[in-house]
Structure formats: C-alpha cells, structure tokens
C-alpha cells in the first residue's frame, strides 16, 4: 500500500492553481446520459472518482475519449442499459446520480447503493420523494435500488423536508426531459448544482433558479438536447484546503483559478482568527503577519452558502493550535468527526459531544502515524503534518486520491515536504 510522509515546520509560500471541481464533475458526467450527442468537458479534474465514473459510462456503452489530461469527450448515444455495474458504483458516493440520469433517459433504473466516504447513514427518502413527484416509483429489491415509471415522467412539485444536494441533483436530472414544469422547493444551492444546471442549459435544457431556494425546470423534448463544449468550475474545496493550509503553517499563498465569491465564507472564518485574506479577480491570497496572535472561533458546517461541511476537518485541524477554546458544530453529516481520534494521536485536545467538537488549543502538534479516515480528513492530516515538527506517516491515502488532483506535488511546489512511498502491509507473519 502507499503512504504519505509529511515533514512539517515550513511555512507554505508561493502560488498554486486549482483544478476543476470534483463535486461538479461527478454530477455533470452522468448528466451526459441524457444527451444523445458528443459533449466535450473541459477543466475535468484528473482524479480517481472521475476516472471511475467514466468507466461506469463506458460499461453502459458510452463512447468516452480523453482529448488531453483535463478534457474528455463523452457520447452517450449508444447507452443501452439502465443497470450500471455494481462493482463500480459501490466505490463512490456520486454514483447515486445515475438514478436520476437513467430515470430521465429510460424511465427506469436498477443500481447498487453508492459507496464512497462513510459519514453515517445516507437515506434516499428525499431522492425518492423527487422521483415520485414525477410519476416514478422506487423500492429496494435484494439490495438493489430499483425505480421505474409505468407512464412517461411528467413535471411535478417537489418540496424537500431538508436541504439535500444529492436529491436536488437527482431531481434535476430526472426532470430535464419530463413534459411540463417541475418546481423544486427548499433546493440545495451549492456551486456545483449551479454548474450542473448551466451545463444542461448549454445543451438545450430549460432550468431556472439554480443557486436559489426554488428551481424550475421546463421539460424539453429529448431530441432537442444537443452536444457542445462546457468548462467545469474550479474546485471550491480544494481552494479552501490550500487557504487553510496557508494559515495553519503561517505562510503566504496565492491561490489562482478560483471563483472568489465561492470562498468568501471560508475566508471570513480565517479572517476572524486574525489571518489576512485578499481577493483578486480570480485569485485569493492568504497570509499570516509575523508575530500575529491568532484567535479561537466558533463555526457551524451548513449547506451552502454556509460554511462547507467538506472544509470542517481542515478548519478544526487549524484551530487545534490556537490558544483558547474553539467550537465546531456539524449540521450536515452525523458521523464526520471520526478523524478527531487521529488528531488526538498528534496531541490535539478535542472532545466530541454529539455533533459538536470542542477544541482547546495546544502549543503544537506532534508527528505521529495516522490514517485518512475519509477524503477531507485525509487533507486535514496533511495540514496537521505540515503544522508540526518531525515526520507524520499518513496511511489509507486512497481516500485523498479520490478527490484531489496532484495534491502532494502542489504542496511540494509551495515548500511543503511530502513524500509518497510504497510499503508492505503493516503486519508480518511470524
């Protein structure tokens, strides 16, 4: 298996360019199933989740061709199955979007439950609510999620009981070609939902209101959807991760190829601690003045435009060495504090009470052997390793590779000391 060795104690300095958004890519790629033409996607992140999704589409007989490392052509004209291969879909959470895409294309689907990071229960009741509003029925049969519609889908009204990114995306995908108007209320507003809607509109769909509480979709004839070229937005979470890393190492980093308004909530929390954050047209600079005394803060992870849950582990890691008491409340996932036990191995003083983490800042962290319990926790472990003296060993880094492109090399370019090594299993037969 592979590990990362992180040697800390060096402030990060320089400039880093952000890749395309993982969360947008894994929504837009299955959306291509609705389109019987060639779509060219640009600024595609070169990560494992994207490659896995493209493999899923190829298994459904889509024509997939890389133009270059970050540009891919997808033609779903010949997709002829509504049953993706379970061995693939079980490896990633974003595979749930196949339900909406296949329902919109074929009026039915049969998929294995999605995999990916484990943050606790992943109910699909709101997804089902959206599908049922369009005239479909969904049930679980022998461990498979099966959806079908006896009659063609038609537009309907959906009101989500909770704000949910996944169900919002799935309802959009299912409704694009459903005759009539579909209204989604209490919709999620994340940037990648807006990007999905913009992609579909560029290919002939009629979606309005993405990025607000209410989304309206006028169903179009499937034959009116067409191919085209679309550029995926920059990754808000990757950018935020480098923002926090710059602050945590008391460095000075300019992050380029970003949409600054997507980063304002992250920047505001860093500013509250005393960090300098400066926004450009498509960049943000994060620096810490020499001798600056940083302050503890309280924050809550919420749906957009609140502080992103995907940035919660990174910010908690940064706060772990700020004198005083900070708090972090998780209002999205029910089991996202599993990484805290890894930070404690490094000397952090954090106690978790339900969905609340109470962080008592320590003087410094210590290097240790830790693991990436999930994708964003893996990024947090890298930040933790860069914050302390000595060499931190990070295992289970396959989580990191799922969602960050060329991650350690970007840190290395900023002065971080990171080495990827291959080791045998951590046990030996005697």
- Residue-by-residue pLDDT tens, the chain, 430 positions: 899 999 999 999 999 999 999 999 999 999 999 999 999 999 999 999 999 999 999 999 999 999 999 999 999 999 999 999 878 878 776 789 999 999 999 999 999 887 544 434 457 899 999 999 999 999 988 888 999 998 999 999 999 999 999 999 999 999 999 999 999 999 999 999 999 999 999 999 999 999 999 999 999 999 999 999 999 999 999 999 999 999 999 999 999 999 999 999 999 999 999 999 999 999 999 999 999 999 999 999 999 999 999 999 999 999 999 999 999 999 998 888 999 999 999 999 999 999 999 999 999 999 999 999 999 999 999 999 999 999 999 999 999 999 999 999 999 999 999 999 998 765 443 3
Does 2-19+234-422 match 22-231 in CATH topology? yes
Q: Are 242 and 255 in contact (CB under 8 A)?
A: yes
Q: State the angle between helix axes of 264-273 and 312-319 in degrees (0 to 180), rounded to the nearest 10.
A: 10
Which DSSP string corresponds to 147-204?
A: EE-SS-----EEE-SS--HHHHHHHHHHHTTSSSEEEEES----HHHHHHHHHHHHTT
Q: State whether the Cα torsion 199-205-209-212 is positive or negative.
A: negative
Which DSSP string corresponds to 105-159?
A: HHSEEEEPPP-S---S----HHHHHHHHHTT-EEEEETTEEEEE-SS-----EEE
pLDDT at residue 112 in the model: 87
Candidate list 32, 76, 117, 388, residue with the active-site label: 117
Q: Which sequence spans correspond to the domains of the chain?
A: 2-19+234-422, 22-231
Q: Are 304 and 264 in contact (CB under 8 A)?
A: no
Helices (H), 203-360: 236-248, 264-273, 312-319, 340-345
Indicate the pairing of strand 349-353 with strand 207-208: unpaired
HSE value, Cβ hemisphere, 13 Å, CA-based, for 383 = 31
User: CATH number of the domain at 2-19+234-422, please?
Assistant: 3.65.10.10
Distance CA 116, CA 146 (A): 20
Q: Is 354 left (phi over 0), alpha (psi -120 to 50) or beta?
A: left
pLDDT at residue 116 in the model: 46
Fold of the CATH domain 22-231 = UDP-n-acetylglucosamine1-carboxyvinyl-transferase; Chain (3.65.10)
Looking up tokens 């060993």, which residue turns up?
Answer: 393
Q: Is 46 left (phi over 0), alpha (psi -120 to 50) or beta?
A: beta
pLDDT at residue 428 in the model: 42
Residue 255: φ, ψ to 5°: -105, 120
Structure tokens at 278: 């400066």
Neighbours of 428 (CB within 10 A): 6
The question of whether 388 is a catalytic residue gets the answer: no
Neighbours of 225 (CB within 10 A): 19
Q: Are 308 and 330 in contact (CB under 8 A)?
A: no
């Amino acid at each position: 298996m592979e590990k990362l060795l992180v040697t800390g104690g060096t402030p990060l300095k320089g400039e880093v360019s952000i890749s395309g958004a993982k969360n947008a890519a894994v929504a837009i790629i299955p959306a291509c199933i609705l389109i019987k033409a060639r779509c060219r996607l640009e600024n595609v992140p070169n990560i494992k989740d994207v490659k896995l999704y493209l493999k899923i589409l190829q298994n459904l007989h889509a024509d997939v061709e890389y133009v270059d490392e970050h540009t891919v052509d997808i033609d779903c004209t010949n997709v002829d199955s509504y049953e993706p291969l379970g061995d693939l879909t079980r490896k990633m959470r974003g595979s749930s979007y196949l339900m909406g895409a296949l329902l919109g294309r074929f009026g039915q689907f049969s998929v294995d439950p999605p995999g990916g990071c484990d943050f606790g229960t992943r109910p699909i009741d709101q997804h089902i609510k959206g599908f049922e509003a369009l005239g479909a029925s969904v049930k679980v049969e022998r461990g498979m999620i099966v959806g079908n519609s006896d009659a063609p889908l038609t537009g309907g009204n959906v009101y989500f009981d909770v704000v949910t990114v996944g169900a919002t995306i799935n309802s959009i995908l299912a409704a694009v070609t459903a005759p009539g108007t579909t209204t989604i209320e209490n919709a999620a507003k994340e940037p990648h939902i807006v990007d999905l809607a913009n992609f579909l509109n560029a290919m002939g769909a009629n979606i309005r209101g993405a990025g607000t509480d209410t989304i309206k979709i006028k169903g179009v004839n499937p034959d009116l959807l067409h191919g085209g070229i679309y550029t995926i937005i920059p990754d808000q979470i990757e950018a935020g991760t480098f923002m926090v890393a710059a602050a945590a190492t008391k460095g000075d980093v300019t992050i380029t190829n970003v949409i600054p308004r997507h980063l304002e909530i992250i920047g505001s929390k860093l500013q509250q601690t005393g960090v300098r954050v400066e926004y450009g047209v498509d960049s943000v600079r994060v620096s810490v003045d020499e001798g600056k005394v940083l302050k503890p803060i309280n924050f809550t992870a919420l749906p957009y435009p609140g502080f992103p849950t995907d940035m919660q582990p990174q910010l908690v890691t940064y706060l772990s060495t700020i004198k005083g008491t900070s708090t972090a409340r998780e209002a999205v996932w029910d089991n996202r504090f599993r990484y805290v036990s890894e930070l404690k191995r490094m000397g952090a003083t954090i106690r978790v009470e339900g969905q609340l983490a109470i962080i008592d800042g320590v003087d410094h962290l210590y290097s240790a052997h830790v693991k990436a319990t999930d994708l964003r926790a893996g990024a947090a472990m890298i930040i933790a390793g860069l914050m302390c003296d000595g060499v931190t060993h990070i295992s289970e880094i396959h989580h990191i590779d799922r969602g960050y492109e060329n991650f350690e090399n970007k840190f290395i370019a900023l002065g971080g000391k990171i080495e990827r090594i291959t080791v045998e299993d951590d046990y030996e037969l005697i």
